[in-house]
Amino acid sequence: MPLILGVVAGVGVILGMRLQQTLGTDSMVEVIKPTPETSIKEALNHIKSKFYGDLDYIKFSDKVLSDMVEELDDYSHYFPAAKDADYNRYIKGLYEGIGIEYAAFQDTVYITSVIPDSPADQYSIERGDVLLRIDDIDIYDINLDSVRFLISQDVGDSIDISIYHHQDDKIGVYRIVVDNVSVPLVKSYVFGNKPDVAYIRISRFYKGVFRDFMDELDHFQRDSIDIKDLIIDLRGNLGGVVDETIKLLNQFFKDKDLTLLSTINNVDDTQIYKSNGRNFLDIDRIVVVIDERSASASEILAAVLQDYDRAVIMGANSFGKGVIQQNYSLSNNGSLNLTVGAYILPSGRKINKVLTDTLFYTLRNRRLLKDGKGVNPDRMVERCSKSQFQHRRKALNKLVENKLWSQQSLLEYIDKQSWDESSQDSCSRAKWSDLRWNMMDIILAGRSEIYPKDLDLVLQAAYEVIVSDEYETLLENK
């Protein structure tokens, strides 16, 4: 019996070893090996059941989710339930309010814009009017952040505001109901000295921007203005919905089935956007102006036009966000805005990566594209590196002190201001140019034309390129 038991034990050991070799990584030991997911779940269970102390578990889980997602990349975010609705309104270009934009100079809050079709647009409120009271609170007794809070109520709430009207020297009191307000996405002018050139600024690529863009050009056509060339200003445009960008790009290409953009995800699946050949615009020259705050969809518009030598890109290097993001709803009513892929341009380059070992060329003129993250302009326009905020504030305060808020007197004041190029450096000149454009942007409400002298220095350079032979030179293969 001892001999039999020994033989059986030996056979069992041998069979066990062979079984272990056969199973390999699929052995029972491997199956129950701890994973990061199980460790996280175990820790949360211990905290929830054993932690000695007060714990707001919802707030705690929001913090955990936020920190976890922030570790992924610079673009993925977790939105708790309280902010998810704000995010959805943001991507639709909506906010809750009464539809006025304002600026504070010294101790006075001035109306700088009334958004068309907003609740405030139903009343006789004009640019340059002064905001005196909100409900029963005197504006002079509060700061600007308090003004923002007081007029940012929920949809359906009523706000009583008192307005001083400069035009007729009267005070109006209005009860305005808060509603969802659509943010203006496109602003356009033609040049009075050359009406076949239009300036269009796109602030965001929210849903509806393509419609607004086409409406602006259609407005000129209805006024018998035939637009041939276009300056598109994308400075400060943080992006938005890429589908809107594709719709817009289609208007600049007559050819069908051109690859406008490709996407790639984490399993190397791709999607290709092609031109449809159905464009309604007959635009010749295009200059696109970008800066370091131009990101995502605005970079795609500039980069695709650059890849096909369809436009001259001017300004400063763009931000460099060429990734796809998808929003996923969670069971706690929050949402996860996750990076799920990247965009590939027609030339093969990616906006969000620096590929130093690869050369990329434009597709028609075979121009070498500068390497680097973001979109590199065909012509850099240097800006003053010093802070301009304080200079603008002082200059604007001076305008207010001199009571120059009537449009005519303000125009006259601006036209009288000049710089002595022999005594002031380029930084001072740039500051005044930016200030002038900032003020012109305020007082040009209701007007449809501008002049090159009205523009800031970057736009002046863009205008000079689009009306000269330099446009063709910049697009040539050098």
Res 454: pLDDT: 81
| Rg of the chain over all Cα atoms, to the nearest angstrom | 30
- CATH code: domain of residue 268: 3.90.226.10
Query: What is the extent of the structural domain holding 178?
Result: 95-182
Whether 437 contacts 454, CB under 8 Å: yes
| Helix (H) / strand (E) containing 18 | helix 2-23
Rounded to 10°, the helix 36-50/57-70 angle is 160
Q: How far apart are CA 329 and CA 87, in angstroms?
A: 12
71 in any annotated domain: no
Of all residues in the chain, the percent with pLDDT exceeding 90 is: 30
Q: Are residues 228 and 273 in the same domain?
A: yes
Phi, then psi, of 442 in degrees rounded to 5? -75, -45
Q: Which of 25-29, 109-113, 251-255, 317-321 has the lowest mean pLDDT?
A: 25-29
In a domain, 42, yes or no: no
Q: Which long-range contacts (CB under 8 A, 24 or more apart) does 378-381 make?
A: 378/306, 378/312, 378/313, 378/314, 378/474, 378/475, 379/312, 379/313, 379/314, 379/461, 379/465, 379/474, 380/314, 380/315, 380/316, 380/317, 381/314, 381/315, 381/316, 381/457, 381/458, 381/461
User: In which band, very low, low, confident or very high, does the pLDDT at 344 lie, cut at 50, 70 and 90?
Assistant: very high
Q: What is the mean pLDDT of the chain?
A: 80
CATH number of the domain enclosing 121: 2.30.42.10
User: Quick one: pLDDT at residue 352?
Assistant: 83
> Within this chain, do residues 227 and 271 fall inside the same structural domain, yes or no?
yes
pLDDT at 194: 92
pLDDT digits (tens, 9 = 90+) for 357-369: 788 999 999 999 8
The 10s digit of each residue's pLDDT in 66-92 is: 898 888 888 888 888 766 566 666 666
**If you average pLDDT over residues 289-310, what whole number do you get?**
95
Query: Which of 167-171, 262-266, 425-429 is the least confident region?
Result: 425-429
CA-based nearest residue to 478, from 345, 378, 376: 378
Domain identity same for 204 and 174: no
Do both 205 and 254 map to the same domain? yes
- Lowest model confidence (mean pLDDT) among 1-10, 138-147, 448-457: 1-10
